[in-house]
Structure 1
């Protein structure tokens, strides 16, 4: 199993990692460690993948899985549950509650306070990011917070239209620095990590660490919806150990 360990100075009791597609039991377009149950893969294989990952990663509980709809909803959870929650972020201050965000190009954002008593995982597609999901997650924290940005589609690959540019610039004119014009008129390359960093900084989070990993460009390691269409999902996890 290949995992990505965040390059951040989180408290020692905060455990976090991002999965890749390496390992697992799925086949065809889902080849590898597909964790998404909503993408057309055989459910029995997804379940096998999830169980295998939990065992390999020594997870203290089953992760909390989300039904992600590009909303700005952040669920606050006090205990582990097998119920799938309708949200695009999950926050907890309880130990052994595993927060997760599934992605295949969107930006996974992990948050922890510096005391290691509060954590969250956020699924930030451009809509959620523009509409304030990071800010919604941060409202649940007390004290100083640090953030880690996991693997997502990179700025050389994420082509968007004028509507996406406008959604961010309407909130903060400085957001235009995260967009580079394409050769096609009215199209732009968007830097999701830079947009997230702007939002985090504006909300008072100055310690932000970026994995710099592009899901689109690294087919061996990551699923990418923009690249492949029919594909699996990796996930990013965070929990308080004790």
Structure 2
């Protein structure tokens, strides 16, 4: 069975080609999608400033995070553009992500964001969204297109077993689940301390392969640091659960500053979204 892959149409939108047409999924960049249903170019974005009010350069041009200090009218404007890429009458369920391991099942749309770091649904036209600006977004679907999930896989949710918590709450057997990894901070850019590595190794020594020492000294003045590979960690966890169909975007949010928001790089910045829906 073919796994999900990423295409590049329309521009500035990663569209996922799932094994079943019953699943629609995509992830955004820091620019708005460009086609007849959206904004044509950056000039038209600037012309809309009068409609949405003051813009902040940290969030140019397609911030979807309502919690980062951007103009809320601008965020709502961008989220409405996102809806045009879903089926008519679809709604997006947003989460208040807290870097934990709580998984919520969504059977109806809630206007207020749900406090959770992963969501599952079996309802059509109820899209699930994960916001990221370095963390790994993971989208899951069964191969027949009856159940979907979206996971916010930063290092804290990963070490707290957010993936296992999500799979355990799904009805689909692990062997029938297809996984897709969106853009995240790459291993060469993600520097962490030894305490992060140790928390993963406590659960399995195999996680040590995802950490590479950046220095040999380990003094108070120069404590040892490691590069951490979120993709490797998440891939290992999925395979341990019996999920083999994994597609990886291989895009680094930190290094590709002209295309993605990165909290590690910029601090105050916008958020991309990875969205999945049953159709």
Q: TM-score range by the shorter chain?
A: over 0.9
- Hey, what does 2:208 align to over in structure 1? 176
Query: What is aligned with 1:148?
Result: 180
What are the superposed Cα offsets for residues 18-44 of structure 1, whole Å, 9 maximum, x if unpaired? 011112675411111000011010111
After superposition, the C-alpha distances for 1:81-136 in whole angstroms (9 at most, x for unaligned) are 32210001110011111011000000000001112101000111101001110101
Question: Residues 34-183 of structure 1 correspond to what in structure 2 (within 5 A)?
Answer: 34-58=63-87, 60-141=89-170, 142-143=172-173, 144-183=176-215
Is the Cα contact below 8 Å between 1:22 and 1:220 reproduced in 2? no
Q: Which moved more, 1:118-127 or 1:16-25?
A: 16-25
> 238, 259, 264: which is aligned to 1:221?
259
Q: Which residue of 2 aligns with 1:4?
A: 14
Deviation readout 1:140-191 (Å, 9 max, x if unpaired): 2222111111000000100001111011111111000011111364200000
1:234 paired with 2:267, answer no
Structure 2 alignment gaps of length 5 or more: 1-10, 33-44, 50-54, 216-221
TM-score normalised to the size of structure 1? 0.95
Match of 2:248 among 204, 210, 217: 210
Partner Cα distance (2:85, 2:145) in 1: 23
> Aligned pair 1:186/2:186, yes or no?
no
Q: Scaled by the length of structure 2, what TM-score is found?
A: 0.82
Structure 1 unaligned residues grouped into runs of 5+ = none
SS in 1 for 2:70: coil
2:57 corresponds in structure 1 to 28
Distance 1:145 1:109 in 2: 12
User: Secondary structure of the residue that 1:5 maps to in structure 2?
Assistant: strand
